[in-house]
Chain A
Amino acid sequence: MSALLEVRDLSVRFGRHRTLAVDRVSLTLDEGDRLGLVGESGSGKSVTALAVLGLLPETATVTGSVRWQGREILGLPDRELAKLRGQEFSMVFQEPMTALDPLMKAGRQVAEVLGLHRGMARGASRPLVLEMLAAVGLADPVRIADSYPHQLSGGQRQRVLMAMALVNRPDLVVCDEPTTALDVTVQARVLATLDERLDDAGAACLFISHDLAVVSQVCARVAVLRHGRLVEQGTTAQVLGAPQRPYTRGLVAVASLEHAEPGSRLPLVDDFARDGGAS
């Protein structure tokens, strides 16, 4: 049986500068797997995720292979990919302030996803929408559904986005820094909800974050990206607990790991980020 998602040698270049944003990254996710993708900003985490979903702008040149349940989806026309997005895999974005349509009520934006993939009329989907909004931890789903995004708080918007991504019970949810833009207190609660819903649905998750602490809460495995390259991959315990044992997949990444050697757990994360930021 083939894996749920198999990314092989994925490379992404942008525009004329021809700089590599992602360099031969390979990842595998089986059903229900939770993989954290970690790295400092600019390391190519988000670009990798967007490339998998086919959401990169036209200026990007993507090469390699992305197989979904054994089927090659890289280079598939937008029309074909769109059928999969929101149905088999979906995405939760980083910026709740701008990721929702400002001119449409929140409930309708969730309902649209149902209507799109299940052909459900707006009236018929209403109970499902409210149920979903409640499921992502929104206390007053009726009021939220009838609100415009600007009337909601950041945490509420992020939950609405989660509802949109989860409402069709996809097999994979890509989360791009879903809690980074939120207050620390809200972060923990949103994260807990996400955790629960993923469990319920049995969905796999590609969780992108610069924050190893957050990743360790949600993910069983971690992959580390640096300058667009995968430098280490393994179980969360392995990578976080014993980073000095380089988990290489044929890539030259030992150097950046050796900097991390002397520290114990938490300082390791910091060292890594600082090193990456300076270079």
Chain B
Amino acid sequence: MPRVVLGRLLTLVLSLAGASVLIFLVVQALPGDLAQVMLGERATPAQIEALRERLGLNRPWVVRYLDWVGDMVRGDLGTSALSGLRVTDLVAGPIRVTGWLVLWSTLGSILVALPLGMWSALRRRHWDGFAVNALSQFGMAVPAFLAGILLVLVVAVRWGWLPANGYVPLARDPGEWARHLVLPVVSLVLVQGALLVRYVRSAFVEVLTEDHITTARSVGWTKLAALWRHGMRQAGLSLVTVLGLQVASLFVGAIVVENVFVLPGLGSMVLRAVVQRDFIVVQSVVMLLVVAVLVVNTVVDLLQAVLDPRIRAKEQR
């Protein structure tokens, strides 16, 4: 087992290095002078030169890259060129907003997709199983922001049940915090859940046709019990994988949905930084999101190794 963990961690480090190079190259090495871009068309050469000096853009890019990575390793995400604030301070609040959003949507979509997907797999030859499947196709075709807009229109504006936008920190008022999160979470769950239903369904259809489920039934388990005792773990394995792959798209969904509901999360922050040309903020926040995705993927990999004796055996050889 330790060897498995070590191998996965090494892969993580390599992936992080690769991702950081990619981000850095896109932002800093693409044609175009960042200082020029930040100051706009009417800046004088002297102003541009001054900004270049201040941002350290005159140094070779390898040095700048190593500087950036070195700072990040020490927990310093850089300083916003615009506000002069440290990025670590800037993201402290937004990270919580996005974190809550992603956490609840993940839990919500599992809660919705697991029973629906299992149902649709078990009843796949009946109209109701087919209906669930068809419904998930429709859910997949609706972008999260569209679901959000419609929810705002109906639930918030027409009925006035829930606030249409904004955010209240948990510490200030838990009730309001929850009320403000409901609609964003629901719109993400609708979309992510629809996709997940399809994965759950195919995972269970696969398990249902396995020989050992028939064996379990032949020794006295009912169909449902056999699926529960001998299929869940296997289906769980493929679902864990899917959830890992989904994390990235969940973050993206959160970024878009934050925009619909005017939530002060990482998404809103990074979009504002894009408009303001605050490239250090863009670079560091994107890196932060990618780190989150890669770390979750590593955890998923390790979880699989723990759950599946076959993988464990292969790795030990």
Chains A and B in contact, CB within 8 Å: yes
A101 and B216 contact, CB distance less than 8 A: yes
B241 at the interface (CB under 8 A from A): no
Q: Which residue of A lies closest to B208 (CB)?
A: A57
Which A residues are in CB contact (< 8 Å) with B307?
103
B217-240 near A? 1/0 per residue, CB < 8 Å? 111111101000110011001000
Cβ contact of A100, chosen from B215, B223, B225, B310, cutoff 8 A: B215
User: Whole-angstrom distance between the alpha carbons of A82 and B223 in the complex?
Assistant: 9
Cβ contact of B221, chosen from A84, A99, A116, A150, cutoff 8 A: A116
What's the nearest-Cβ distance from chain B to residue A171, in Å?
14
User: Whole-angstrom distance between the alpha carbons of A148 and B233 in the complex?
Assistant: 14
Interface residues of A in 56-97 (CB under 8 A from B): 58-59, 78-79, 82-87, 90-91, 93, 95
A224 at the interface (CB under 8 A from B): no
What is the interface of chain B mostly: helix, strand, loop, or mixed? helix
Highest count of chain A CB atoms <10 Å: which of B217, B225, B237: B217
B278-317 near A? 1/0 per residue, CB < 8 Å? 0000000000000000000000000000011110010000
- Contacts between chains A and B (CB distance < 8 A), count: 79
A134-154 near B? 1/0 per residue, CB < 8 Å? 000000000000001011000
User: Whole-angstrom distance between the alpha carbons of A149 and B220 in the complex?
Assistant: 20
A150 and B215 contact, CB distance less than 8 A: no
B74 at the interface (CB under 8 A from A): no
Which B residues are in CB contact (< 8 Å) with A102?
212, 234, 309-310
Q: A58-B125, A102-B234 are in contact. Are A150 and B219 (CB under 8 A)?
A: no
Which A residues are in CB contact (< 8 Å) with B310?
102, 148, 150
Interface residues of B in 51-110 (CB under 8 A from A): none
Q: Which residue of B lies closest to A84 (CB)?
A: B220
A215 at the interface (CB under 8 A from B): no
A53 and B218 contact, CB distance less than 8 A: yes
B218 and A165 contact, CB distance less than 8 A: yes
Which A residues are in CB contact (< 8 Å) with B217?
55, 82, 85
B212 and A82 contact, CB distance less than 8 A: no
B223 and A78 contact, CB distance less than 8 A: yes
B233 and A86 contact, CB distance less than 8 A: no
B219 and A103 contact, CB distance less than 8 A: no
What's the nearest-Cβ distance from chain B to residue A242, in Å?
36
A101 and B230 contact, CB distance less than 8 A: yes
A113 and B313 contact, CB distance less than 8 A: no
Chain B residues with CB under 8 Å of chain A are 125, 210-212, 214-223, 225, 229-230, 233-234, 237, 307-310, 313
Provide 7 A-B residue pairs closer than 8 Å at the C-beta atoms, listed in order of the A residue: A53-B218, A100-B215, A101-B212, A101-B230, A112-B219, A113-B219, A164-B215
